[in-house]
Each structure stands twice: as C-alpha cells, then as structure tokens.
Amino acid sequence: MDYPFKSIEKKWQKIWEDKRIFYVSESSEKPKYYILSMFPYASGVLHMGHISNYSISDALVRYKIMNGYNVLQPMGYDAFGLPAENYAIENNSHPRITTENNAKIMDEQFKQVGFGYDWNRKISTCEPEYYKWNQWFFLKMYEKGLVYRKKSYVNWCPDCRTVLANEQVEDGKCWRCGTEVSQKEMEQWFIKITNYAEELLDQSQLQYWPERVKIMQKNWIGKSYGTEIFFKMVDSGERIDVFTTRADTIFGCTYIVLAPEHPLVHKLIQNNSYKGKIEKFIHRVINESKIVRSAEDNVKEGIFTGQYAINPVNNENVPIYIANYVLMEYGTGAIMAVPAHDQRDFEFAKKYNLPMKIVIQNKDRSLDLKTMTSAYVEEGVLVNSAQFDGMNNIKAIKSISEWMESEKIGKMTISYRLRDWGISRQRYWGTPIPIIRCPKCGDVPVPEKDLPVELPFNVEVGKTRQNPLKSVPEFVHTTCPKCGGYAERETDTMDTFFDSSWYYVRYADPHNHNMPFDSKKANYWVPVDQYIGGIEHATMHLLYVRFFHKFMRDLGMVNSDEPCIRLLTQGMVTKDGAKMSKSKGNVVDPQYIIDQYGADTVRVFMLFSSPPDKDKEWKDESVKGASRFLNRVWRLIDEQKDFLKSVHQDYDKNANISSELKKLRYSTHFTIKKVTEDIEERMQFNTAIAAIMQHLNNIQSYYIIDENDSTEIAIYKEAIEIIPYLLVPFAPHISEELWQMLGHKKILLETEWPKYEPEFLKTEEITYVIQINGKLRSKITVSADSDEDLVKEKALANYKIQKYITGKEIIKIIVVPNKLVNIVSK
C-alpha cells in the first residue's frame, strides 16, 4: 500500500555512507559552506524538536552540495551537565555510562532519519580529549586577567545543589528543574565577559541574524550612560559613590540608599543603637529569594542607618537608608533618591515620610508636592537647582555632569546590566576547573603540561549533599606546582555553557592533540555560514559563543570577529497549542512516526507545516497528508518508469506544441525557479514544497495526446523528472530512489541542482484582471506583445465591463503591465 520506505531509507543511508558524501576536508576546490545545528544534549532520545531542527539544516546541506559547495555538517553531543548526573543518580548508575549509552542510541536515531553528517568529526564534550581544551581556554583567560574568584551572593538552586548564572534563572526559578532559586554567599569563579560588553554590543556584523535575537542581546547587555556622584559621610568623611542616569535631578536628592549587600553597610551601622534590628533587616532581605525581591508588587522596604551624607552640589545633609529595592549588582550599589522625580523613590519617601523637593517644573501646570500622587518624570525646566535653574532638564543631564566633573564631585560613566559570567558549579559531571589551592601560594593555575585535569571515574554520585568531588581524596590531594607543598584541587566544575562556547571550531579539527584546533583549518571553515538553533539560547549560548569567538580572535586563533554569519532560530514543535513536554503528556515520539511513515514523511511534515522560524503544531492528520503526497509521487513514477525510461529527453525546443503542453513545460520551469528561490533567498521550505505539490497536480491533470510524439513525451518526462530533483533536500531517500527508478546511474547528490530556462517562462498570452474603481469585474487575455493602448481598448470592449461603464464618465485608466487594468469612473 505505502511505498516501501523502510527498505529504501536503509538502502540510501548505506549508499551515502559508502560514497562518503558528507565527509569533507579542507582540500577542496569548491567554496566551503559550514552548516551547523546546535548540538543536542545527550539525553538518550531524539525528540520532535531535534527532528525539526535537523531537517532544516539537512535540507540546506543537500541543496548546497548540489550547488557546488564543500559542505560541512558535523554532529556531536553536549554531554556534561546536571541532568545527566541526576539521571545517573536516579538509575543508580554512573553519568559516564549513561551518557555513553545515550549517545549510542542517538547516533542510531540520527542515522535512521538519514541526516548527512561527517561522523569523523563527532565530538562529545565529556571526553577528556575535549574538556582538556576547556581547561586550556580557562588558563588562557586566567593569563589574560579575565578570570577572578570572588565571594558573592549567587543564585542557588537547592534542588540541583548548584549555582546558576543569571541567565539560567527564569522567573526566579531554576531553568532546568523549576525550583525556586535562593541566594547564597559563596566563593565563585567568574569570567570577565563584561570586558567585552562594548564589543558584544556591536552588531554590525550580524546583519543576517534575526532582529529579535539582536534586540534581546542588546537589552541583556543593557548599556546606559550615567554619572557617578561622590557623596561623603558626615561623620567619617568616607566616600559613597552613587550611580544615576538622572544627574539633572541631583538638587532634588533628599536621601541616599544603599543596597543591603553594600560593603559600607557594616561600618555605617557600627555605632547605631539599633544595630541588631538593622542587621536583622539586612539579613532578611538578602536571603529573600530573587523572585520575591524583584517581583513588581514587592513592597519597598528600608531602614535608616542613623548616618548622614553630604550632597556635594549643595552641601545639604541627607539621611542614608538601606532598602530592598536597590541592587548591589548594578551601578555602584548605591543611589541618590529623588522622590519628586522617580516613582520608586516617591513610593519609598511616602512610606517613610521622607522629604521631597521639586527640581523640575512643568511648563504648563505647576507641580505641587501636596497634590502629587506620583513622581513627575516628564520633561521640564529646572528649578531649585542653583545656576542651572531655567535649563531644560534633558540638556541639564550633560551640563550638570560636566560641571560635577570639573568640580571633582562626580564623573560620567557607563553602566551595563550585563554581569560577569559565573562559571562555578558545585557538581561532579562537568569540566574540573584547573586550579590548585595552595595554603602558601594561594590559587595556582594548573600548568598547561598537566592538562587535562581528569574527572575521576570512581565517584559516589548522589551520596552526599555536597559536591561529590570533595570526597575523592585522589582528586583533591595534590602538590602545589609552585612550591611543591601539599595543596588541594578546586572541586568546582564548569558551567556547561563553557563547553558549547567553542565546539563549532573544534569540529574544524576535532582530533587535534596539541591544540584546541589548528588555526588554518579553523579559518577555512569558521565562521559558520548558517547556524540553526532554538530561540531559548538568544541571551545565553549565543552571547557566550560570541564572547568566546572574540577571545579566540584576540589570542590569534581565529581571524574573524563573529562565530556565525547567518542565524536561524527555529520554532518549537507544539501539540494542542503547547510545547511538547512529559508533564503535559503531549509528547509524540519520532521513533514511532518514523516506523509508521518513514523518515522522509516526518521531514516533509516538519518543513511543510510552517516556515522554519515559526512554531510547528503537530497534527496526526497532517502527517498523513505528507505521507499521502510522497505516496502520490511514488505511484506516478512507479507506474510510468518503464515507459519513461525509454524516452529520449532531447527535443526541438522550437517545435510547435499545444498550449496545454506549453503550460506543462511552464509549470516545470516555474517550479524550479520557485523552489530554488524559496530555499536560496527566503529559507521558506513550506512554500517550496507547496510548489512541488502544485506541479504534481499540474502533471496529473495533463493527459498525453500522442504517445508517439517524441516532443510531447520528452516534455512530459522532464516534468516528471524534476520532482525527485526538487524534492531531494526535503525527502532525500525517496527522491534518490525515484531518480534511480527512472534509469539514472548517478545519484542526485552527485548531480547539479537544476536550472530553469527563462525562455519557457515567457508566455504568449497574458491574462489581465480588469477592475472598475478597484473592484474586480472581469478578466481578459491578450497576446504578450500587446501595448498599453491595446490592453485598454480590449478592457473597455469587454462585454462585462461594458455593462458597468455605459453612461458613466471614465476619469482615468491605470494599466499595470502584465497584471491589471483599473478603470476609474464616475
């Protein structure tokens, strides 16, 4: 009943493998093209999202190969990480064992779908051969001063028992397990990604990236221009710097606020008789989980320190508060409060009965503190601001800042929302951070020659609440590379985003034992020409990769500025309107579908259902539709293959043929054009497939008049043969098989992508739409060489049109060449 997809798919997978179609090297005359899909987490099963993602890249790969490119498409596994460790704990196994098993299963599944990978380049991030270079890069960063260790409050997931980067906290919850994240003070390793903030903000080489991703990155980095203003404490004279973007309101400052984590806080409250009470407050706020503290409706709370500071612009004494709404991580961790012109300060001042001072007046209505119900944040003119009175407040930002700089009471600065990248994880299954802690010498980097610092295998995972590495003496106990004395190893492992930040270059030279990769090979393949992956990585992975690339460039290892030229963020696969997930119970196992309909059907369904960057709603019926289409193609060719095999393709192109036959030929060449442009220019596979379906319909509504007419048969054959050709990127197995059935020896992947003949897209007759006042009223067909006047004449003469225009005044007639005539009448 169905075409024999099982045997065909196996057959062609073997042929591609035997012919080494997807195995590539740098020694090629052809131009290179590097297509990369984000590698999967080694979870042990391919889900529909993977199939969807990889079907897109595989279609492009085949298209590019046929267009004469040396195409690299590698595959590997993101193999380290928490879920693997947790999975192993649950199953009483070891993550190395479960991960290796998972990878094997996934290898098989990949092969079953027939994706064309260069398997020689497979990498797995949990191999010492790979993570050795993570450590190497870490040491290089250390050398360059990009690594530091700092005690800080970090996002702590109590369930995963590890630290999370800010990016890994979603709505105050752990991005992996959904547990509410709390704050914990810990020593952590950080990478100074902020050193590259300015460069990461430069998106000039990302013109082929989705706007959405670029905006998200820009917001994430969050650059703002502002001013640091130097307050002094009345008692000790110690400086407190505050950051503001609203220097224009400095004269309206009535108090200043420190974040509870601010380093000066302890000193400030030393002699306060309420010290205990204040400390209690600080303690409470700090331990409050982020979600509570940052919630929109969280009540602003604060406490007076008992101390005052001097506002440097007017020498006024202002009280110093500590409050929950000031963040240590942004700016200087201290703010000046201008309640009259900042909503947050306004709310706080109202609550604690603090004074307010208007320093910006509205031109039309005069503001009054007694009647104000919210802060005035609009434009206006400065008042109560000494020599700046009367100045427009926007202009005053600069003027006041410059003045403060010259008075040495402030300086203009730039502040970023982006924080440094905390890479420490307190778990076993990751790259050990190559640092040795010596009681004498402090933190000493592991010498390069001693890499890799191997992750010990014999570890009891999940037995203790602490990092299992801590309980492996062979790992922890070591000697200091500097002084030779007893020392202990760092037991933190790296965030797995470190692993995935440079894997795309490793693919260029995956077996290098001396270096992460050879620069020559890297520069041949990199940057990636087309990168494909999920939008969820917009501010995580995609920011880290860009950072890493620039770092590698600064080391002289790559000669480009960005890791990838084109980026496609594919949509997710949904069912019943929601993302497929176990908890929702709406998961469809690709394996089942492949068994039932074959890999080509699944691919066609995925690519046909919507454009690649849109979500794909899974519908069992639509899968049947994709299968039905492939079966129709199969039957058409299967029934006619013997007849067509005997037909000569060549024919006299100038021969006089029927208009029906011309239409068929037109359809063939039009479809080539359409499919080519849809792939090449728009990456829109759904319309490309629709065009092929349309062409199939056109063929099936054509009836051969004379089986002995060699011209007719040749054109008919051409129409049919183009189908496997154009279908091969989307349904590679069936297309190759059909092509062979039609008697061809060379496989499609070894032939060139077809070209359309512009001559055949010209038609002798053109149908014009005739509108009257913009409304469609009739259609006429004229010969293609008709000039505008003739078209007008015929349009007016049309009997349906006559009905509408008799007795009416024609004001003008618009003719759009080859398209329509619009008659404007009254």
Partner RNA sequence: GCGAAAGUGGCGGAAUUGGCAGACGCGCUGGACUUAGAAUCCAGUUCUGGAAACAGAGUAGGGGUUCAAGUCCCCUCUUUCGCACCA
Q: Site residues for RNA, window 301-340 (CB under 7 A)?
A: 324-327, 329-331, 333, 335
Q: H helices of 269-365, where?
A: 275-287, 290-294, 343-352
- For RNA, the closer of residues 491 and 609 by Cβ is 609
CA distance linking residue 519 with residue 557, whole number of Å: 5
Region near RNA per CB under 7 A, out of 544-552, 553-561, 613-621, 703-711: 613-621
Using CB under 7 A as the binding rule, whether residue 641 contacts RNA is answered as no
Among residues 341, 434, 401, the alpha carbon closest in space to that of 140 is found at 434
Among 378, 681, 785, 809, binds RNA (CB under 7 A): 681
Q: Footprint of RNA on residues 193-212 (CB under 7 A)?
A: 211-212
Using CB under 7 A as the binding rule, whether residue 10 contacts RNA is answered as no
Structure tokens at 546: 């860009």
Region near RNA per CB under 7 A, out of 356-364, 423-431, 508-516, 617-625: 617-625
Query: E-strand spans in 379-522?
Result: 381-382, 410-415, 421-422, 424-425, 435-438, 442-445, 477-479, 486-489, 493-494
Among 25, 701, 751, 783, binds RNA (CB under 7 A): 701
- For RNA, the closer of residues 399 and 523 by Cβ is 399
Using CB under 7 A as the binding rule, whether residue 601 contacts RNA is answered as no
Q: What is the DSSP letter of 302?
A: E
Region near RNA per CB under 7 A, out of 240-248, 365-373, 433-441, 459-467: 240-248
- In one-letter notation, the amino acid at residue 77 is Y
Instruction: Write the DSSP string, 235-265.
Output: TT--EEEEEES-GGGGGG--EEEE-TT-TTH
Region near RNA per CB under 7 A, out of 109-117, 242-250, 559-567, 592-600: 242-250
- In one-letter notation, the amino acid at residue 80 is F
- For RNA, the closer of residues 212 and 266 by Cβ is 212
Among 232, 344, 437, 792, binds RNA (CB under 7 A): 344
User: Are 717 and 645 in contact, with CB atoms under 8 Å apart?
Assistant: no
Q: Footprint of RNA on residues 783-822 (CB under 7 A)?
A: 800, 812, 814, 816, 819-820, 822
Q: What are phi and psi of 814, to 5 degrees?
A: -105, 130
Using CB under 7 A as the binding rule, whether residue 159 contacts RNA is answered as no
Structure tokens at 582: 């176990």
Using CB under 7 A as the binding rule, whether residue 617 contacts RNA is answered as yes
Using CB under 7 A as the binding rule, whether residue 763 contacts RNA is answered as no
Q: Footprint of RNA on residues 659-678 (CB under 7 A)?
A: 674, 677-678
Q: What is the DSSP letter of 466?
A: S
Residues in binding contact with RNA, number by CB under 7 A: 89
Among 690, 741, 796, 805, binds RNA (CB under 7 A): 690
User: Are 32 and 70 in contact, with CB atoms under 8 Å apart?
Assistant: yes
Please enumerate in sequence order all residues whose Cβ is within 8 A of that of 72, keeping only pairs 6 or more positions apart, or say none: 24, 32, 33, 34, 35, 118, 121, 507, 508, 525
Using CB under 7 A as the binding rule, whether residue 655 contacts RNA is answered as no
Q: Footprint of RNA on residues 38-67 (CB under 7 A)?
A: none
**DSSP H or E segment with residue 395:** helix 393-406
Beta bridge partners of 424: 494
Least gap, CB of 571 to RNA (angstroms): 8
Least gap, CB of 219 to RNA (angstroms): 5
Least gap, CB of 615 to RNA (angstroms): 6
Using CB under 7 A as the binding rule, whether residue 611 contacts RNA is answered as yes
Least gap, CB of 293 to RNA (angstroms): 6
Burial of residue 585 (CB within 10 Å: 0-12, 13-18, 19+) is exposed
Using CB under 7 A as the binding rule, whether residue 1 contacts RNA is answered as yes
- For RNA, the closer of residues 179 and 245 by Cβ is 245
Give the x-and-dash track for 720-759 against RNA (CB under 7 A): ----------------------------------------
Peptide bond into 527 cis (omega under 30): yes
Among 473, 556, 774, 807, binds RNA (CB under 7 A): 774
Using CB under 7 A as the binding rule, whether residue 120 contacts RNA is answered as no
Among 220, 281, 475, 544, binds RNA (CB under 7 A): 220
Least gap, CB of 136 to RNA (angstroms): 31
Beta bridge partners of 755: none
Region near RNA per CB under 7 A, out of 8-16, 190-198, 352-360, 682-690: 682-690
Region near RNA per CB under 7 A, out of 215-223, 377-385, 717-725, 733-741: 215-223
Burial of residue 556 (CB within 10 Å: 0-12, 13-18, 19+) is exposed
Structure tokens at 37: 């899909």
Least gap, CB of 601 to RNA (angstroms): 12
Structure tokens at 676: 């080519």
Q: Footprint of RNA on residues 258-297 (CB under 7 A)?
A: 259, 293-296
- Chain position carrying tokens 């039309």: 364
Using CB under 7 A as the binding rule, whether residue 140 contacts RNA is answered as no
**At 486, is the secondary structure helix, strand, or coil?**
strand
CA distance linking residue 779 with residue 798, whole number of Å: 8
- For RNA, the closer of residues 174 and 326 by Cβ is 326
CA distance linking residue 191 with residue 179, whole number of Å: 26
User: Are 114 and 12 in contact, with CB atoms under 8 Å apart?
Assistant: yes
CA distance linking residue 305 with residue 275, whole number of Å: 8
Using CB under 7 A as the binding rule, whether residue 650 contacts RNA is answered as no
Using CB under 7 A as the binding rule, whether residue 775 contacts RNA is answered as yes
Using CB under 7 A as the binding rule, whether residue 824 contacts RNA is answered as yes
Using CB under 7 A as the binding rule, whether residue 511 contacts RNA is answered as no
Using CB under 7 A as the binding rule, whether residue 535 contacts RNA is answered as yes
Among 776, 784, 790, 810, binds RNA (CB under 7 A): 776
Using CB under 7 A as the binding rule, whether residue 773 contacts RNA is answered as yes
Q: Footprint of RNA on residues 79-98 (CB under 7 A)?
A: none
**At 156, is the secondary structure helix, strand, or coil?**
strand
Phi-psi region of 129 (alpha: psi -120 to 50; beta: other; left: phi over 0): alpha
Least gap, CB of 413 to RNA (angstroms): 11
Region near RNA per CB under 7 A, out of 60-68, 177-185, 481-489, 691-699: 691-699
Give the x-and-dash track for 388-417 against RNA (CB under 7 A): ---------------------------x-x
Query: E-strand spans in 360-480?
Result: 360-361, 381-382, 410-415, 421-422, 424-425, 435-438, 442-445, 477-479
- For RNA, the closer of residues 440 and 775 by Cβ is 775
User: Are 490 and 436 in contact, with CB atoms under 8 Å apart?
Assistant: yes
Q: Footprint of RNA on residues 571-590 (CB under 7 A)?
A: none
Using CB under 7 A as the binding rule, whether residue 420 contacts RNA is answered as no
Beta bridge partners of 226: 413
Least gap, CB of 429 to RNA (angstroms): 25
Least gap, CB of 626 to RNA (angstroms): 7
Least gap, CB of 326 to RNA (angstroms): 4
CA distance linking residue 449 with residue 465, whole number of Å: 33
Instruction: Write the DSSP string, 218-238.
Output: HHHH--EEEEEEEEEETTT--
Among 215, 515, 705, 784, binds RNA (CB under 7 A): 215
Using CB under 7 A as the binding rule, whether residue 767 contacts RNA is answered as yes
Q: How far is CA 348 from the centre of its chain?
A: 39
Q: What is the DSSP letter of 181?
A: P
